[in-house]
Amino acid sequence: MVDTSSSQFIVEGFSLLGVSIFLIVLRIVARWVMVGWKNFQADDYLMVLAGVVYSMETAAAYAVVDWYHGLANSSMTDEQRASLSPDSDEYHWRVGGSKVQVIGWSLYVTTLWLLKVCMSVFYSRLTDGLPFMRIRILISYVSIAVTYVVVLVVILAGCHPMHKNWQIYPNPGNGCQPAVAKLHIYFTVILNVITDIELMSIPIPMLAKAKMRWREKARLLVLFSGGLFVMTAGILRCALILTGGSRSAAEGAAWARRESFVAVAVGNFPMIYPLVRRLARKAGLIVSQGSSRDYPRQTQSQSALQSQSRKKNSYPLVSRKNNEWSALDDELVSLDTGRTEPATHVTAKSDWDKHDVKDQGPGIQVVSETIIERS
Backbone angles phi, psi at 62, to 5 degrees: -60, -40
Q: For residue 32, is it within any domain?
A: yes
- Radius of gyration over every alpha carbon of the chain, rounded to an integer in angstroms: 26
Provide the residue range defining the domain that includes 337: 300-360
- Give 335's contacts (C-beta < 8 A, 6+ positions apart): 210, 211, 314, 316, 317, 364, 365, 366
Residues 111, 232 within the same domain: yes
**Residue 245 — left, alpha, or beta (φ > 0 → left; ψ -120 to 50 → alpha)?**
left
Summarised one tens digit per residue, pLDDT across range 178-218 is: 999 999 999 999 999 999 999 999 888 877 777 777 877 78
Domains identified in the chain, total number: 2
Residues 273, 307 within the same domain: no
pLDDT at residue 276, as a whole number: 86
Residues 274, 309 within the same domain: no
Residues 237, 320 within the same domain: no
pTM of the model: 0.77
Residues 34, 176 within the same domain: yes
Residues 259, 353 within the same domain: no
CA distance 372 to 375: 9
Q: For residue 350, is it within any domain?
A: yes
Residues 94, 134 within the same domain: yes
Residues 245, 319 within the same domain: no
Residue 38, burial from CB neighbour count under 10 angstroms (0-12, 13-18, 19+): exposed
Say how far residue 120 (Cα) sits from the centre of its chain. Answer: 9
Domain boundary among 254, 281, 308: 281
Cα distance between the two ends of the chain: 89
Residues 29, 103 within the same domain: yes
Rounded mean pLDDT, 260-277: 90
Residues 142, 239 within the same domain: yes
- Which of the four pLDDT bands, split at 50, 70 and 90, describes residue 239? confident
pLDDT at residue 310, as a whole number: 44
Q: For residue 163, is it within any domain?
A: yes
Q: For residue 38, is it within any domain?
A: yes
Q: Give me the CATH number covering residue 242.
A: 1.20.1070
- Give residue 258's identity as a one-letter amino acid code: R
Q: 273-294 b/e with 16+ CB inside 10 Å = b?
A: bbbebeeeeeeeeeeeeeeeee
Summarised one tens digit per residue, pLDDT across range 293-322 is: 443 444 444 444 444 444 444 444 444 444
Determine contact, residues 257/58, Cβ cutoff 8 Å.
yes
Residue 57, CB half-sphere, CA atoms under 13 Å: how many? 29
Residue 300, burial from CB neighbour count under 10 angstroms (0-12, 13-18, 19+): middle
What percent of the chain lies above the pLDDT cut of 70?
74
Please give the full DSSP string across 91-136, using - where no structure is assigned: HHHHHHHHHHHHHHHHHHHHHHHHHHHHHHHHHHHHTTT-HHHHHH
Determine contact, residues 100/69, Cβ cutoff 8 Å.
no
Domain boundary among 228, 251, 281: 281
